[in-house]
Amino acid sequence: MELGKLGVWTSYGRIGAENAGEAARLAEKLGYGAFWVGSSPRVASLRPLLEATERLVAATGIANVWAYDPVELASEYAELERDFPGRVLVGIGIGHREATTAYTRPLTAMREFLDVLDRPESLVPEDRRVLAALAPKMLDLSRERALGAHPYFVPVEHTRYAREQLGPKALLAPELTFALGGREPAREFASLYLGLGNYTNNLMRHGFTEDDVANGGSDRLIDAVVPNGSVEAIVAVARAHFDAGADHLVLQAAGEQGIPRAAWTALAEALR
């Protein structure tokens, strides 16, 4: 599987499911190696991306263990892997306590989900799955039972920490949202995530305070986690993630409606 250094992250709700193929062709043309679909997608929903392209890897970012039967996930994966070998990556995560009443013993739930995917009759190989991971034990599980980790809404400090936790061989593919122009679209994007304990607790483990995460986030926090403004300012943060140990950086553009053509183009050219 060739992910390359850069991927894009978006959701069908944002770009329109009917535009999936067009968006995938653009991403591949610009040189991105992977297209990550967010908002707890089904694995089967990756098909339009794969049909529209020749080399692009399609990934779920992420399949939610509370909302997915692992046997069904494995069946959907097998169909796509049969038709598009080596181009399907299954991102799996536990979501957020605020989003489901079923959220209990998340590490155990993830282990049990992976146990099913390890069975011969429902196999999703370790090198075809990554885990959404922030805290130490989930990062350990990403190293032990998956290709690696896909952290989301994280500063450079977390990428450095995650690389140390994962060791040198596991994939580290952090998501990085950016906003061309002013800070306002970055702040608007961050507002949802600053209301979720998994993210705020993680930020406070890596250099931020309760004051930073309160009231929509301090400017310091927003600029670190959702770089904004000029292309040069955004690229500086992206390169810092690579310097800290990222293998594959997953770029999400905030503030541009529909397929973010301008943002994807600007970052692809600047990070070549």
Average pLDDT of the segment spanning 155-170: 98
Q: 133 near 151, Cβ under 8 Å? A: yes
Instruction: Give the rounded distance of the alpha carbon of 65 from its chain centre.
Output: 15
Given pLDDT bands bounded at 50, 70 and 90, which one contains residue 153? very high
Q: In 121-174, which ranges are E strands?
A: 129-131, 148-149, 171-172
Name which residue leads in pLDDT, 98 or 262.
262
Q: How far is CA 266 from CA 30, 57, 76, 88, 180, in A?
A: 10, 21, 34, 26, 9
* pLDDT score of 99 more than 80: no
Q: Is 180 helix (H, G, I), strand (E, B) or coil?
A: strand
In the chain, the largest separation of any two C-alpha atoms, in whole Å, equals 51
* pLDDT score of 142 more than 80: yes
Confirm whether pTM is higher than 0.85: yes
pLDDT of amino acid 182: 87
Given pLDDT bands bounded at 50, 70 and 90, which one contains residue 32? very high
Which 8-state DSSP code applies to residue 17?
A: G
Q: What residue segments make up the domains of the chain, in order of their start?
A: 6-270
Could you read off the pLDDT of 214-266 as tens digits, one per residue? 999 999 999 999 999 999 999 999 999 999 999 999 999 999 999 999 999 99
Fold of 6-270: TIM Barrel (3.20.20)
**How far apart are alpha carbons 91 and 219 in whole angstroms?**
30
